Amino acid sequence: MKWYKAILVCACYVATLAAVYFVHVRYALVDVVFYAALEDAAIALALVAAALFAVRWFALFSAFEKTQLVVICALVGYALAISVPTVLDRSLSFYMLEKLQQRGGGIRYSAFETIFTQEYAKEHQLVDLRLTEQLKSGTVRIDDGCVQLTPKGEALATFSSWFRRNLLPRQRLIMGQYSDKLTAPFPVGAAGSDALCHH
């Protein structure tokens, strides 16, 4: 009987999260999709946890078991926040599938680079959207039209660069060939001086 009610608690959490998320994205302001999804997960978790500890129907669970269920629901909420709205919002792979569908199901391979560089960035307001996310995350600031790293952004960029060089696949399949090119994608000495801020 406990396992049945435990599954029911998790199902109730997912249903509550879906309802909270739907109301949020339809009727409220959203700064960053991922953060909003995390907020929704936390709101749903608070509602379900309150019911779990207050409703007599769940009295067969000990306080420890109820806490475990709350932790499980929190992990489910975090996984869903990353795996569904955030991935769909940011995914170039899903964009490619939608773009193929928009163009009748097929696009010449040679046209993809132009589509990604000219259409994707414009259609998804990619620069403004990602800069908004970084501003809200506190990793960059904009001073007099110059986008600059904050200490937090510097630390994250250092970690990201180290992880890319040391812990990404050395033999990654890219269009039929295995390569380590993505472990160091930035050309040495190509800083792009025309884009630097001048003070």
β-pair type (177-179, 172-174): antiparallel
The partner residues of 142 in beta bridges, in order of sequence, read 147
Residue type, 178: Y
On whether the CB atoms of residues 60 and 2 are closer than 8 A, the answer is yes
- State the pLDDT confidence band at 185, using cuts at 50, 70 and 90: confident
Q: What is the mean pLDDT of the chain?
A: 90
Q: What share of the chain has pLDDT > 70, as a percent?
A: 95
pLDDT tens across 127-180, in order? 899 999 999 999 999 998 899 999 999 999 999 999 989 988 888 898 898 988
What is the reported pTM?
Answer: 0.79
CA-nearest of 38, 34, 18 to 26 is: 18
Domain boundaries defined on the chain: 2-90, 91-124, 138-169
- State the pLDDT confidence band at 117, using cuts at 50, 70 and 90: confident
